[in-house]
Amino acid sequence: MTTRLFHISDVHFGVEDRVALDAVARAVAAERPDAVVCTGDLTQRAKRSEYAAAQEWFAALGVPVVLEPGNHDMPYYNPWERFTDPFRRYNRMNAAVGSAFDSPDVVLVPLRTTVRAQTRIPWSDGVVKPAALRETLSALAALEGDPRTIIVIAHHPLLGPEGKRKNPTIGGDEAFARIADAGAHAIISGHVHVPFDQQRRSASGQIMRTIGTGTLSTRLRDGAAASWREIICGPGGEITAQLRFAVPEETAAGRIGGS
C-alpha cells in the first residue's frame, strides 16, 4: 500500500490561474488522491472575497485538504488585524475545509514560517521563530520510532538555493538541521514559485529531502510553468515525487527551469 498526495502551493486567489486550477480539480476528480496539501499563499491580499473563493474551490475537491498559511494570507489592507490577529481569516477557512491527515504510510507535521512583521524588508521571506520550531520538534519527538514516512510542511523553503551564501529564511538553517536530526524524511514547501527536488545536507551531516512545487497563479517566475506535485509515499521514508503541469508536459517542459 502507498499514500498519494497532491502538493500544491501559491494559489493566490485574486490572481489565480483558472486553467491551472481546473487542471488540478480534474486530476483530483479522476485520480482521487488521498489528500491535497497546500503549503500556503492561498490568497493574494487575504481579502475576505479571496478567502471565500479559495474556500469554495477547496471544498469542491471532495478529498481531505491540508493547509498551511503563507505570507500573503495575513491581512494586507487591515494593519490592525494583521498585528493583533494575523491568522484569523486563515483559521476560519482552515476550520471550514482543512483537516489533519495521516495514513498507514505517511504523517504530516506543520512548521509555521510566516510572521506578522519583521525587522527587515521585505516582509515576505520566511522566519522560523523558536516557539514554532519547538512545536514542530515536539511533534517529531512524539513520532520517534514511528515506521511511517514523516514529512514536514512549511510555506518557505528552509534553505536558500545551493551555492548561495545568504539564506532568505531567518532561522532556516538551524530548523533544517534540527528537523533532520529529529528524524523527518522530507520537507515540502512553496513560496518561490519555482519547483525543486533536492537532497540537502545539514550542518550536522544529516541528509533530508527538500521538495518544492510551483504556483497555480498568474505570478510565474524564472520561466517556470504553473505546476503541482504528485507525491507517493510508502513507509520508512519511501517517497516518489513527480512534477505535474497545468498545460501539456511537452509544452511546459520547454519553459520549466528544472524540477
pLDDT recorded at residue 102: 87
pLDDT digit string (tens) for 159-192?
998 877 789 999 999 999 999 999 999 999 999 9
pLDDT recorded at residue 259: 33
Phi-psi region of 258 (alpha: psi -120 to 50; beta: other; left: phi over 0): left
Sheet holding 3-8, edge to edge: 65-67, 35-38, 3-8, 227-234, 238-245
**pLDDT reading at 60 higher than 90:** yes
**Contacts for 240 with CB less than 8 Å, ≥ 6 apart:** 231, 232, 233
pLDDT recorded at residue 52: 98
Phi-psi region of 40 (alpha: psi -120 to 50; beta: other; left: phi over 0): left
pLDDT recorded at residue 248: 66
CA nearest to 256, candidates 209, 215, 201, 200: 215
**pLDDT reading at 242 higher than 50:** yes
Sign of the dihedral defined by the CA atoms of residues 237, 163, 11, 254, in that order: negative
pLDDT digit string (tens) for 204-238?
888 999 999 999 999 999 999 999 999 999 999 99
Please state, in angstroms and rounded to a whole number, the distance separating the CA atoms of residues 99 and 43: 19
Residue 252 banded pLDDT, cuts 50, 70, 90: very low
Grid cell of 212 as nine digits: 518544492
Q: Which pTM does this prediction carry?
A: 0.94
Q: Mean pLDDT for the chain?
A: 94
Identify the CATH number of the domain defined by range 3-252: 3.60.21.10
117-123 average pLDDT score: 92
DSSP 72: G
pLDDT recorded at residue 258: 35
Grid cell of 90 as nine digits: 486563515
Check residues 163 and 254 and name the one with the higher pLDDT: 163
pLDDT digit string (tens) for 71-94?
999 999 999 999 999 999 999 999
pLDDT recorded at residue 218: 97
